[in-house]
């Protein structure tokens, strides 16, 4: 079956499909923010983007959570799902598909996929014995466990012994193919540390894994033997495929894979790396489909240096955080302060300091005071009538501005969001320094009008460029800046953005024109007061 019909200009990416055993936590928000930033960047680049998110609703973990509340699993899922949808709205996430694994059309995709793998001879019945962590929905090796048979990830949970008839997927058969693939595509698993983890896991020898459960109702039946229920991960990974279906398309693999496959990027946390970088490609090889381009495993968030958890009582509620500080603030902090791929920490004092320093002071004040100077020193409240060519390439801001777009493009492509922010902030800081050194107020007194205008133009253009390049991360603030600079562009409006502000024309130096009427200076980010008890 020739399924792939992908044009060059498409970019499909996924967040994990989140378990609905509880309302979303900051970890889910973190991955989703990062995915949204990538999607927004790719849209600015002119690509047609499909951002997939959704929920993973089957399995023992969800069944037990529902039971503990005396609810039917489907009702329980239906009650939790809206909390994800509303958080993504609060965080300005522009997703294109929300994939729920309990959707009937997903059942059809899973069935067809299972049948293909069955036809390849990669499914057989066997006896599964081992330690199972319900929270991970994963069997663990005895040597991985902590004292008292506790899971290394869910350290307060004991694993459970299982000894049952299961269907197995012949993962071992794909050992060589996978190894070859990792060599051929060294960028498939990122960052490098995660790639090395996977390589060493695969080198130890792959074992077949069970893809069905008995004594569990909450899931899809195994098509060839309905007494068994399909393992939640087998069904969940395929949620990415179901999500590719057009809303009114018949749920077949051919339809699902037609336009967007292979997926360009799976963004995940490091704890679910094996599923995405080993099991998933092997399943796809078995079904005869091309493999995704890239899997990026980010690190874990801690709070005040400690692992977050309900038992520790130190969870960070993303809804509360956004309601208190706004979506741009939350998005900016996590991407600027944490190297994507490494573990990172949330500390509220630090959070406030970073936002005040970067967004309120460096960026916000710069725009504000420059706009006020234009009002005061220039005849009209327009961008000063300076042709970009009259500003020398030696001008310190232009020097940075001329190469910043390309540099930031590369950092976004590498998902080095913190580096993107830092490079952009360098231009902002240089602009503050430039204005202090050039002292347009003195130039004005000396009657050097053209010099005043050159300085103000260079600074406004720098703020514009910074706002544009930061727009995937802080779309609201960037829109505000663009409005104050006289553009009618809103970075939260997908259609307008892609038509009006593509990367090729806005990520370059010298875009501002004197035809633009400047808006009223208004603070773009209000300083946050320090916490009372600090």
Residues that bind ligand MSP (CB under 6 A): 16-19, 27-28, 30-31, 56, 236-237, 239, 268-269, 271-272, 300-301, 308
Residue nearest to ligand MSP (CB): 269
Question: CA geometry: angle at 416 spanning 410 and 420, to 5°?
Answer: 70
CA 419 – CA 410 distance, rounded (Å): 10
CB of 307 to ligand MSP, least distance (A): 7
Instruction: Give the relative orientation of helices 73-90 and 318-325 as an angle to the nearest 10 degrees.
Output: 20
CB of 135 to ligand MSP, least distance (A): 8
239: preceding bond cis by omega (within 30 degrees): no
CA dihedral 179, 183, 187, 190 (to 10 degrees): 40
Q: Which is nearer to ligand MSP, 35 or 367 (CB)?
A: 35
Q: Which region, left, alpha or beta, applies to residue 205 given φ > 0 means left and ψ of -120 to 50 means alpha?
A: left
CA 43 – CA 497 distance, rounded (Å): 8
Q: Which residues lie closer than 8 Å to 152 by C-beta, 6 or more apart?
A: 140, 144, 145, 146
Nearest-Å Rg of the Cα atoms of the chain is 26
Q: How far is CA 205 from CA 167, 295, 387, in A?
A: 20, 21, 65
Q: Are 196 and 186 in contact (CB under 8 A)?
A: no
Q: Which is nearer to ligand MSP, 13 or 397 (CB)?
A: 13
Q: Which is nearer to ligand MSP, 339 or 493 (CB)?
A: 339
Q: Which is nearer to ligand MSP, 125 or 156 (CB)?
A: 156
User: What are the start-end ranges of the H helices in 439-493?
Assistant: 440-445, 449-470, 475-484
Assigned token pair, 309: 């958890």
Q: Which is nearer to ligand MSP, 307 or 409 (CB)?
A: 307
CB of 136 to ligand MSP, least distance (A): 8
Q: Which is nearer to ligand MSP, 301 or 360 (CB)?
A: 301
Q: How far is CA 99 from CA 11, 96, 231, in A?
A: 17, 10, 18
User: What are the start-end ranges of the H helices in 290-416?
Assistant: 318-325, 327-337, 348-355, 366-377, 396-413
Q: Which is nearer to ligand MSP, 29 or 352 (CB)?
A: 29
CA 64 – CA 137 distance, rounded (Å): 12
Q: Which is nearer to ligand MSP, 14 or 259 (CB)?
A: 14
Q: Are 22 and 205 in contact (CB under 8 A)?
A: no
Q: Which is nearer to ligand MSP, 212 or 462 (CB)?
A: 212
Q: Which is nearer to ligand MSP, 56 or 122 (CB)?
A: 56
Q: Which region, left, alpha or beta, applies to residue 147 given φ > 0 means left and ψ of -120 to 50 means alpha?
A: beta
The β-bridge partners of 131 are: 140, 161
CB of 375 to ligand MSP, least distance (A): 45
């Amino acid at each position: 079956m020739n399924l792939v019909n992908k044009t060059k200009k498409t970019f499909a990416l996924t967040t994990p499909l989140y378990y609905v055993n509880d309302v979303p936590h900051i970890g889910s928000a973190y991955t989703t923010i990062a995915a949204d930033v990538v999607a927004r960047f790719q849209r600015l680049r002119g690509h047609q983007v499909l951002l997939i998110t959704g929920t993973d609703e089957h399995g023992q973990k969800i069944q037990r959570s529902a039971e503990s509340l005396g609810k039917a699993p489907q009702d329980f899922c239906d009650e939790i799902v809206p909390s994800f949808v509303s958080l993504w709205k609060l965080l300005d996430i522009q997703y294109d598909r929300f994939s729920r694994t309990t959707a009937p059309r997903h059942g059809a995709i899973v069935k067809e996929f299972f049948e293909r793998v069955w036809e390849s001879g990669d499914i057989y019945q066997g006896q599964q014995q081992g330690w199972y962590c319900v929270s991970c929905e994963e069997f663990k090796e005895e040597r991985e466990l902590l004292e008292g048979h506790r899971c290394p990830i869910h350290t307060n949970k004991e694993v459970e012994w299982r000894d049952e008839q299961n269907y197995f997927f012949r993962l071992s058969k794909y050992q060589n193919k996978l190894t070859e693939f990792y060599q051929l595509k060294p960028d498939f698993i990122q960052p490098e540390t995660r790639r090395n983890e996977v390589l060493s896991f695969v080198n130890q020898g792959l074992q077949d894994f069970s893809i069905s459960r008995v004594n569990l109702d909450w899931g899809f039946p195994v098509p060839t033997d309905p007494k068994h229920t399909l393992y939640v991960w087998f069904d969940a990974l395929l949620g990415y495929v179901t999500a590719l279906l057009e809303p009114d398309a018949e749920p077949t693999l051919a339809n699902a894979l037609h336009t967007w496959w292979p997926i360009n990027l799976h963004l995940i946390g490091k704890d679910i790396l094996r599923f995405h970088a080993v099991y998933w490609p092997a399943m796809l090889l078995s079904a005869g489909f091309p493999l995704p381009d890239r899997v990026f495993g980010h690190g874990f968030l801690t709070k005040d240096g400690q692992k977050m958890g309900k038992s520790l009582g130190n969870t960070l509620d993303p809804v509360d955080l956004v309601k208190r500080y706004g979506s741009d603030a939350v998005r900016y902090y996590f991407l600027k302060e944490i190297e994507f791929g490494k573990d990172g920490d949330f500390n509220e004092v630090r959070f406030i300091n970073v936002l005040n320093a970067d967004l309120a002071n460096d960026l916000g004040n710069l725009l504000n005071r420059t706009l006020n100077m234009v009002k005061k020193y220039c005849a009209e409240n327009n961008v000063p009538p300076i042709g970009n060519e009259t500003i020398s390439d030696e001008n310190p801001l232009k020097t940075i501005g001329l190469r910043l777009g390309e540099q930031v493009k590369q950092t976004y492509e590498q998902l080095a969001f913190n580096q993107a922010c830092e490079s952009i902030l360098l231009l902002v800081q240089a602009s503050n320094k430039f204005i202090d050194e050039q002292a347009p107020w003195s130039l004005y007194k000396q009657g050097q009008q053209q010099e005043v205008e050159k300085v103000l133009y260079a600074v406004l253009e720098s703020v514009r460029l910074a706002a544009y390049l930061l727009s995937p991360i802080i779309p609201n603030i960037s829109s505000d800046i663009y409005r104050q600079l006289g553009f009618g562009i809103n970075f939260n409006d997908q259609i307008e953005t892609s038509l009006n502000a593509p990367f090729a024309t806005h990520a370059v130096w010298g875009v501002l024109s004197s035809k633009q009427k400047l808006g009223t200076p208004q603070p773009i980010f209000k300083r946050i007061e320090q916490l009372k008890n600090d």
